[in-house]
Amino acid sequence: MADTLKQITCPACGKEMEKVFIPSEGINLDICTQGCGGIYFDNREFDKFDEKNEDISVILEKLDGKNFTKPSENLTRICPNCGSKMVKNHSSILKEVQVDDCYNCGGKFLDNSELVKIREEYDNNEQRDEDILRYLYQQVGQELAEQERAYAERPQEKTYIRKLFNKLTGL
């Protein structure tokens, strides 16, 4: 999706967001510089700033030295780009940061300081992906083990579950 060129309102505090040009990426980010300090990323923009090696100096300069209001976490947030309800999701399996995602247009909204916290979780996306895979294998393995115990009396199903478990885990 293309960069949002229209002036938008912060989904957290309702203040007008400032368009901040990021020269290294050639895009505008919407930052709530007069309210809560949140950042709105259009579809696919967030991936350009979530790793430690990616430059966020322009963003940090815009936020530096300002006192921001803390918005209510209980209010439903509406996507400033398309008007759809945003959904809170964890940024990683560490579940330390919740990001507001728009499933309609792909936009993301981060509260003040959440971008820095996300960047501190992992050095790069490869580490994040490895952690996700480990977590998924652990969860799938636990579910399969429970199913195997439940089907212990049924040899045909037990064999099927064992084969599936071995295939998924490489054992």
DSSP per position, 15-69: PBPEEEEETTTTEEEEE-TTTT--EEE-TTTGGGTSSTTS--HHHHHHHTT---P
pLDDT of residue 151: 63
Tally of CB atoms within 10 A around 6: 8
Same domain, yes or no: 102 and 140: no
* pLDDT for residue 12: 96
Same domain, 22 and 91: yes
In the predicted structure, residue 152 carries a pLDDT above the cut 70: no
Same domain? For 143 and 93 the reply is no
In a domain, 10, yes or no: no
Residues 118, 130 share a domain = no
Domain span including residue 115: 18-123
Please give the pLDDT value at position 83: 96
pLDDT value of residue 7: 92
Residue pLDDT, tens place only, 53-105: 899 999 999 999 999 989 888 889 999 999 999 999 877 666 678 899 999 99
Q: Are residues 91 and 72 in the same domain?
A: yes
Look up the pTM and report it. 0.74
Say how far apart CA 78 and CA 54 lie, in whole Å.
28
Q: pLDDT band for 145, please (50, 70, 90 cuts).
A: low
